[in-house]
Amino acid sequence: MSSLLYAVGHTTVSIALGRTATVALESMVIGALIGFGAGAGVARMFHAPTVQGMGAFRTLGELNACENDPAAHFSFGLGFFFHAWASAVGTGALTSDVDHRIVPHGAAALSMARRGSRRAAGTLHDPRRMAVVGAAVGLVLVTVLNTTAAAVPHSLQQVAADVLGPASAWLINPVMPVVFWMAAVDAGRRTGGWGTALGGLAHVVMGNAVPGIVLGIVVGKGVDELGWTRVTRVLCGAVVALFAVSAVLRGVDLQLLHQMHADVPRWLRQIHHCTGTGPAT
């Protein structure tokens, strides 16, 4: 039945009931899974570095910026919910904000409101509560995003796309690189040096300086506190390997030679052709 409707769905624009039901059921499972994982991972971030967390530094900062206020968490999540909704309508991409912002803030707001307390210890910082509430938030959220994307008012879509789109793009580049860069520079001469070198290189190789600055802080602080031991040498080797592999995978070597008006050797071009790597154009 549903496989028949799959075939029909490719040719007709109208949404068959069977297709919507399939999408809704699968979305519920998906939403519960991502909500559970993201909720627990985000709560564990507050116990890092002793506990391995999962999320992002910007998620951590944004959660802290809400100062344990349920209303602030809710409105923050709501804004990005409309952003994700607008994106889902046009492109089918729910955006990375679902895991990074909407689920964590939604789960935080709900658990704080339910407990009626502003103590983060029993709510935002508790992996068990965040995982369970996160699963519930994710279940509803992903189902709504995948099945009702076309229902969002056009004016709200426009605001979300024109306001939150640029604001979060600016945050990722250049605001976050600059903030991390200044933190590295202020953390000591060695950390600042490594951060600057790897940060600039990372923007060249990966298109964003933050991963490089973070690795620069890791190497610089590691060497500051431990000296050049086996651990720091392995670390440094891994960083060098990472940059080399990323450069080849993204075809930065070809681009660099091209922009220096040098000829690209045949063998290099051949390697990229065989492995299917190269600049994404």
Nearest to 138 by CA among 165, 100, 112: 100
CA atoms in the 13 A half-sphere facing the CB of 35: 26
Residue 242 beta carbon to other proteins: minimum distance, rounded to whole angstroms: 6
What's the CA gap between 179 and 281, in Å, rounded? 30
Q: Give the residue, chosen from 11, 14, 50, 259, that forms a contact with other proteins under the rule CB under 8 A.
A: 50
- Cβ proximity to other proteins, 29 vs 265, nearer residue: 29
Residue 86 beta carbon to other proteins: minimum distance, rounded to whole angstroms: 10
Q: DSSP letters of 201-262?
A: HHHHHHS-SHHHHHHHHHHHHHHHHH-S-HHHHHHHHHHHHHHHHHHHHTTHHHHHHHHTTP
Q: For residues 92-121, which are near other proteins according to CB under 8 A?
A: 92-96, 98-100, 121
Q: For residues 55-74, which are near other proteins according to CB under 8 A?
A: 55-58, 60-67, 69, 71-74
Residue 111 beta carbon to other proteins: minimum distance, rounded to whole angstroms: 11
What's the CA gap between 271 and 52, in Å, rounded? 38
Residue 265 beta carbon to other proteins: minimum distance, rounded to whole angstroms: 20
Site membership for other proteins, residue 211 (CB under 8 A): yes
Q: Number of residues interacting with other proteins: please give it, by CB under 8 A.
A: 130
Distance set, CA 9 to CA 94, 145, 249 (Å)? 21, 19, 36
- Cβ proximity to other proteins, 153 vs 265, nearer residue: 153
Which two three-digit tokens encode residue 274? 């065989």
- Cβ proximity to other proteins, 163 vs 265, nearer residue: 163
Site membership for other proteins, residue 33 (CB under 8 A): yes
Residue 219 beta carbon to other proteins: minimum distance, rounded to whole angstroms: 8
- Cβ proximity to other proteins, 49 vs 266, nearer residue: 49
Distance set, CA 140 to CA 93, 94, 100, 147, 234 (Å)? 17, 14, 16, 11, 45
Residue 39 neighbours by CB distance under 10 Å: 31
Residue 259 beta carbon to other proteins: minimum distance, rounded to whole angstroms: 19
Contact assessment for residue 109 and residue 70, using Cβ atoms and an 8 Å cutoff: yes
Site membership for other proteins, residue 128 (CB under 8 A): yes
Q: Biggest alpha carbon distance in the chain?
A: 67
Site membership for other proteins, residue 85 (CB under 8 A): no
Q: Which region among 87-95, 253-261, 263-271 touches other proteins (by CB under 8 A)?
A: 87-95
What's the CA gap between 198 and 191, in Å, rounded? 10
Q: For residues 139-178, which are near other proteins according to CB under 8 A?
A: 142, 146, 149, 153-156, 158-160, 162-168, 170-171, 175-176
Site membership for other proteins, residue 228 (CB under 8 A): no
Q: For residues 238-277, which are near other proteins according to CB under 8 A?
A: 238-239, 242, 245-246, 249-251, 275-277
* Phi, psi (degrees; rounded to nearest 5) at 122: -90, -5
Residue 128 beta carbon to other proteins: minimum distance, rounded to whole angstroms: 5
